[in-house]
Amino acid sequence: MIRIAIQKSGRLNTDSLALLKSCGITVDNGKDQLKAKARNFPLEVFFLRNGDIPQYLRDGVVDLAIVGSNLLVEKGTDLEVIESLGFSKCKVSIAIPKENSFSGVSDLAGKKIATSYPNTVNQFLKEKGVEADIHVISGSVEIAPNIGLADAICDIVSSGSTLFKNNLKEVIEILTSEAVLVQAPNLNEEQILLIEKIQFRIQAVLRAKQSRYILLNVPNEQIDSVSKILPVLKSPTVLPLAQEGWSSIHSVINSGDFWEVIDQLKAAGAEDILVCPIEKMVR
């Protein structure tokens, strides 16, 4: 049995449970439940406060965790990231009231900055040679300038809508963040083997999300030129069609290169191009 910690609420919680489900792991968790077992894998899920997770890993209470990489910058630089997960992306930024001018980081010298990430802010300011007064707040950081508690804030920014509602503007991006899979120290052999199984499934899911299955028809004389365009894993599958002189090519493309590849295939003579999502891609 291994134990994994995820955030007990919010977008990271939802995305983490969705990832486990995509990996074929079913977790029966009820409302306000702090611990739940998987039905079909030797896994127990702990639903914890985000800021507490790094210490639970160090103490060996949990063996794995899905957290934002920004949390590790703040509280867990000693912990090992074993997989970047690509979801729950955001940034940690400094923001000031909209009406205030800003010419650079030196403008923060001597100012009060409200934040839930004091270590991150202090490290950033130290690197820039700027001294400021850090005011630590657990929540609702965005309200601090409006009530005269701070001149600026440093907080997580996703869409920017919360800053807009509080009459703030982003002026410095300190770092970008995404969900990562983190491993506890001092694991035994059995735990490591189970973690490798989970990581194998996660990698198959992530590869599938980044890829598309493509089928297309091409004249036989164009098979070589079309095959060179396709960034396949090994080589494309080529099947003859009932129509003489034509073949069907099956392959995989990177979803990020979709339109560029499609344009090249059309120019090379490909027709009837069909693109499908991939549920899992195992190597």
Tell me the per-residue pLDDT of 66-104, one tens digit each, with 9 for 90 and over: 999 999 999 999 999 999 999 999 999 999 999 999 999
Judge if 182 and 167 occupy the same domain.
no
Judge if 139 and 186 occupy the same domain.
no
Predicted local distance difference test score (pLDDT) of residue 7: 94
CATH number at residue 264: 3.30.70.120
CATH number at residue 56: 3.40.190.10
Q: Concatenate the DSSP letters of all residues of the chain into one string.
A: -EEEEEESSSHHHHHHHHHHHHTT--B---TT-SEEEBSSSSEEEEEE-GGGHHHHHHHTS-SEEEEEHHHHHHH-TTSEEEEE---S-EEEEEEEETTS---SGGGGTT-EEEES-HHHHHHHHHHHT---EEEE-SS-GGGTGGGTS-SEEEEEESSSHHHHHTTEEEEEEEEEE-EEEEE-SS--HHHHHHHHHHHHHHHHHHHHHTEEEEEEEEEGGGHHHHHHHS--SS--EEEE-SSTTEEEEEEEEEGGGHHHHHHHHHHTT-EEEEEEE-S----
Asked whether residue 94 is domain-assigned, the answer is yes
Judge if 147 and 107 occupy the same domain.
yes
Q: Concatenate the DSSP letters of all residues of 95-115 into one string.
A: EEETTS---SGGGGTT-EEEE
Give the number of domains in the chain: 3
Domain that holds residue 95: 90-177
Residue 26 in this model has a pLDDT that exceeds 80: yes
Confidence of residue 256 (pLDDT cuts 50, 70, 90): confident
Name residues whose C-beta falls within 8 Å of residue 205's C-beta, 6 or more positions apart in sequence: 19, 22, 23, 280
Predicted local distance difference test score (pLDDT) of residue 232: 63
Dist. CA 247–CA 134, nearest whole Å: 66
Judge if 77 and 128 occupy the same domain.
no
255-283 mean pLDDT: 89
Asked whether residue 143 is domain-assigned, the answer is yes
Longest pairwise C-alpha distance within the chain: 78
More confident residue, 34 or 234: 34
Judge if 184 and 52 occupy the same domain.
yes
* Summary mean pLDDT of the chain: 92
Asked whether residue 73 is domain-assigned, the answer is yes
- What are 36-75's pLDDT values in tens digits? 999 999 999 999 999 999 999 999 999 999 999 999 999 9
Judge if 9 and 117 occupy the same domain.
no
Predicted local distance difference test score (pLDDT) of residue 257: 85
Percent pLDDT > 90 in the chain is 78
- Given 126, 161, 177, the domain boundary residue is 177
Asked whether residue 283 is domain-assigned, the answer is no
Residues present in the chain in total: 283
Asked whether residue 166 is domain-assigned, the answer is yes
Nearest Cα to Cα of residue 283 among 168, 201, 173: 201
Judge if 63 and 19 occupy the same domain.
yes
More confident residue, 31 or 21: 21
Strands 133-136 and 112-115: parallel
Judge if 149 and 22 occupy the same domain.
no
- What are 204-229's pLDDT values in tens digits? 999 999 899 999 999 999 999 898 88
Predicted local distance difference test score (pLDDT) of residue 258: 85
Cα dist. 270→45, 213, 217, 218, 247 in Å? 48, 15, 6, 5, 10
Dist. CA 149–CA 162, nearest whole Å: 18
C-alpha angle with apex 228: 227 to 232, nearest 5 degrees?
70
Predicted local distance difference test score (pLDDT) of residue 233: 65
More confident residue, 235 or 84: 84
Predicted local distance difference test score (pLDDT) of residue 30: 65
Asked whether residue 59 is domain-assigned, the answer is yes
Judge if 10 and 82 occupy the same domain.
yes
Judge if 198 and 63 occupy the same domain.
yes
Judge if 21 and 46 occupy the same domain.
yes
Judge if 25 and 73 occupy the same domain.
yes
Asked whether residue 282 is domain-assigned, the answer is no
